[in-house]
Structure 1
Amino acid sequence: MSTAALDCYRHRIIHIVTGNRPAMVFSVTDNTALLRICERLVEAERAAEILLHKGYGRPGAGMTLDEVAALVPEKA
């Protein structure tokens, strides 16, 4: 998993929550939980890319990732 992508999500989340405070200087109470959330976001982004590449869903089709995942056939 890309550390750069994790850091990007982490900094963006902190910036959204704290406003103008720089993410680098903000102390996070539960950094482990925040990193788990960021990991899930990176995984979801990658899963969406893979599904789109395989022809499930189309950009702009209005489908969410879980709706596209529901289209994947059951494992035999």
Structure 2
Amino acid sequence: MPWALEGGFTPSFWAFSFGLASMAGCGLRMIAFYSNTGEKGLLLLGWSLFGIGTFCIVALIAFTLLFFIKKLQKHNADA
């Protein structure tokens, strides 16, 4: 996916948010299901999916805020 990052961050990266939220939700379901079964590997996979999905959504929020702050600063500098 290096070609997608060549132009820097844009709000169109939010297209990935549905998949990321689904991944985090699947991780939560795996945690809930496998926490009582003793399946350590699948429980670890659930926590991993939840953690990575949540981290990426938080990163999307942070990069979006930075994107719009930079746009606003550039707009104010031009005015």
TM-score (norm 2): 0.36
Q: Which has the higher contact order (CA 8 A, sep 6+)?
A: 2
TM-score (norm 1): 0.38
- Report which of the two has the higher share of helix: 2
